[in-house]
A and B are shown apart, each in its own frame.
Chain A
Amino acid sequence: MILLDKNTKVVVQGATGKMGSSHTKRMIEYGTKIVAGVTPGKGGTTVHGLPVYDSVKEAVEKTGATCSVIFVPPYGSLDAGFEAVDAGIDLIVLITEGIPPQDTAKLVAHVKANGVKMVGPNCPGVITPGESLVGILPGSIFKPGATGMVSRSGTLTYEIALALTEAGIGQSTCVGIGGDPVKGTGYQEPLQMFNDDPKTEVIVMIGEIGGTAEEEAAEFIKKNVKKPVIGFIAGVTAPPGKRMGHAGAIISGGKGTAESKMKSFEKNGIKVAMTPKEVAKLVGECLKTPAKA
């Protein structure tokens, strides 16, 4: 497992909002060690039995939280992210969708300068099945196991996790890095962590059209990752020049096509699956032959 385990103490920024509150409840029910909520002006109240503080700094001091999950509206996210970094949080999971990319770029610069990890924005979050869920992933479709997953997409990740779980294959950790063009964590960091994680045997990497992150990750895998990697790319049928829902999903100037990504996967020794069920099939084959550590 990577990033999260059952002891990770999590604070929720925006825990009293509609979305923040309902997901705080679901995370607590899953077993995540949620220790506090933060909503400026609501310090001293409670949410789902947890204390609410006015600032992240106060929450960290009182609870020892090391992870913050952010559910604040798009235009407040830059501020909330800076607050988390400056309060000494180690891992930020930024769920919010629709943050202007220049705000994200400013936040990413601050995060990197301070050695903090950030997953997101516009992401479903991170889950270590059976231990901790931080974000909005539906916990019930995951189960503990030896497959690490890293993905740019939300519901597609659920679809593939479901195919794995139904095939009897569990997951070590699943990281949704988010669909925005500018983000805190790309593919390479989780790939390296999965490679170094003794509980992960196989890695599933889920990509989509747009940009060249998958191509760069494929080269990174060839050089650095010793475990088998199964790849899936969405958007084979996407027309060029059109933004396919995600802000980052656009083929521009002939770059970012599914074909280019799949070729790059194959060239670098990554097996490409064409459907979610085929992902499960390929992972299953790798699990039978033990990984060459």
Chain B
Amino acid sequence: MNLYEYEAKQLFAEGGIAVPPSARITKPEDLSKVHLGWPVILKCQVMSGGRGKAGGIQKVKTLEEGKEVAKKLLAMTIKDSKTESLLVEPIVNFKKEIYLAVTIDRERGCPIFIAAADGGMEIESNPNVQTVPITYPFHPYQGRALAHLLGLKGAVFAKVADIAAKLYLLFEKYDLDLAEINPLFVTEGDDVIAGDGKITINDDAMGRQKKFDGWQDKHLVDLPVRERRSKKEGLNLVELDGNIGIICNGAGLTMATMDMVKKFGGNPGNFLDAGGGSDQEKTLTAIEIVHDNPNCDVILLNILGGITACDEVAGALVEFMKRHPNRKMIVRLRGNNQDKAEKMLAESGLKLYPDIEDAVKAAVEAAKTKQPVAAR
């Protein structure tokens, strides 16, 4: 789950990392209640990146101008992400911008610091970026080692080292996938302040991070409707441009099935991994979600039962075909209780393909004609 900038800064402040004074507004007229002096910066609170380039950050000199600009910004959508609110901050005069982040390095299998003494835009292509593995158990000297590597001295060395250590502690405490400060301002007076922040909380940790209970709904607003519904049901859906709906058990098999559809001349309409061991109800939900996609002319269900029982899947199919008897459905089922499943499906008039290639080819063939509208 990604957080908005203002939420990230609340976490920074909680962790003892300096942030600029600020106010958050959801209506232009609320700007009159903000007392930060003038000029101020208005920043769109969105989930997408590239906010500055898109015009989502504006400097305003007076209240009147501010209200006018705020009205425009609040109505903005940046890369499919609707502005949730505006963050109002005074202007920070800085002499230096640092990049600082903590994330997990999948190849090394441990957390790392990523940092650059010259932060700002285009961090991916910055040649001065340092990556430093973090070892367990963490001690603050690892922050000092990083600050040294960045070539910092004196008060700024001490402050950046302290912030790096505090950022790691937040990263660990809240099970973050990413904690990023960019830019980290160094002011003329050698204060070090987080100018912007990005935080991603690990989805698998949401069950134990009670602080974020109930935050999911608000933070999934930018997801398409059916992807949001899937996420709530514990299913993994990604929608694509094609017209063949795909449901499988297991992520690798789902991707391989999509690839085979493409190879045999079809176009996958989605990725839906129903997971291992799904029961009848969850399988039915998965089929219904794919069925609801108006671009979907045929549904290809490919289940290779390891821990998934075929009769549970068949039960879901029987129920689904009762509700939507005209839906074009290609079923490949193989594994535990296959015989039982076959009998159940025969009664629904569904043919069962034991071979994956045969099933994919049948789906591609069926997708050449449109699903009749009456079937929905």
Contact = CB atoms under 8 A, between A and B. Distances in A.
Interface of A: 19, 74-75, 97-102, 104-106, 108-109, 124, 136-138, 151-159, 162, 179, 181-183, 206, 208-209, 211-213, 216, 232, 234-239, 242-249, 253, 258, 274-277
B280 interface: no
A211 B107 contact: yes
Contact of B106 (A162, A182, A234): A182
Contact of A253 (B107, B124, B261): B124
22 contacts: A105-B104, A108-B109, A138-B335, A151-B252, A153-B250, A154-B253, A156-B253, A157-B252, A162-B334, A183-B109, A206-B252, A234-B259, A235-B255, A237-B258, A239-B238, A242-B238, A244-B236, A244-B251, A244-B271, A258-B259, A274-B259, A276-B356
Q: Which of B236, B240, B251, B306 neighbours the largest number of chain A CB atoms within 10 Å of its CB?
A: B251
Interface residues of B, number: 51
Given A162-B304, A275-B357, A276-B356, A100 B250 contact: no
B306 to A, nearest CB: 4
B276 A102 contact: no
Contacts of B84: none
Given A108-B109, A159-B304, A153 B104 contact: no
A155 B250 contact: yes
Given A138-B336, A182-B104, A152 B271 contact: no
B271 A245 contact: yes
B207 interface: yes
A-B residue pairs, 10 tightest by C-beta = A153-B252, A245-B251, A155-B250, A156-B252, A245-B273, A181-B106, A234-B255, A155-B253, A100-B205, A245-B236
Interface of B: 104, 106-107, 109-111, 124, 135-136, 171-172, 175, 177, 202-205, 207-208, 236, 238, 240, 248-256, 258-263, 268, 271, 273, 276-277, 304-307, 334-336, 356-357
Contacts of A106: 136
Contacts of B205: 100, 102
A234 B260 CA distance: 10
Contacts of B109: 104-105, 108-109, 182-183
Contact of A153 (B175, B253, B261): B253
Contacts of A239: 238, 240
A237 B304 CA distance: 21
Q: Which of A249, A253, A277 neighbours the largest number of chain B CB atoms within 10 Å of its CB?
A: A249
Contacts of A238: 238, 255, 258, 271
